Amino acid sequence: MTKKEGSTNETAAGGEMTLADFQRLIREMYLPKDVARGVDGTFMWLIEEVGELAGALRDGNHEDQENEFADVLAWLTTIANVVGVDLTEAVRKKYGGGCPGCGRFVCQCSDSGKP
């Protein structure tokens, strides 16, 4: 399921789009539907899109990959909206000070660790 609809939001038409702009755009386009569907149903869509991304990474061309990255980010953002998480704030808190593991801006964690 592709999330796409006409929008009057200028950021959708061209130019720079921050993560906050994108989260606002998704909220304005879909929030009532997303809240009605709920976290569980929305999470299912996210996972379906993650599967489609896997397929595009394996077999798709660059445009297919772009489309699937956009869909995964849209559904991830949707879930954040439903539960009231500000993604910009979340990302800034976790990664704004560098790697959460070692605190550096070029990760120095050992290769056995996740980062």
User: What is the rounded distance in angstroms from the CA atom of residue 70 to the CA atom of residue 75?
Assistant: 9
Nearer to Zn ion by Cβ, of 17 and 99: the residue is 99
Residue 115 CB, nearest approach to Zn ion (Å): 4
Residues between 96 and 115 with contacts to Zn ion, criterion CB under 5 A = 99, 101-102, 107, 109, 115
Residue 114 CB, nearest approach to Zn ion (Å): 9
To which residue do tokens 């061209």 refer?
Answer: 14
Nearer to Zn ion by Cβ, of 63 and 111: the residue is 111
Nearer to Zn ion by Cβ, of 19 and 99: the residue is 99
Residues 6, 77, 41, CA angle at the centre, nearest 5°? 95
DSSP-based three-state secondary structure for 99: coil
Lay out the site mask for Zn ion across 41-80 (x = CB under 5 A, - = otherwise).
Answer: ----------------------------------------
Give the long-range contacts of residues 13-20, CB within 8 A, separation 24 or more. Answer: 18/88, 19/87, 19/88, 19/91, 20/86, 20/87, 20/88
Footprint of Zn ion on this chain (CB under 5 A)? 99, 101-102, 107, 109, 115
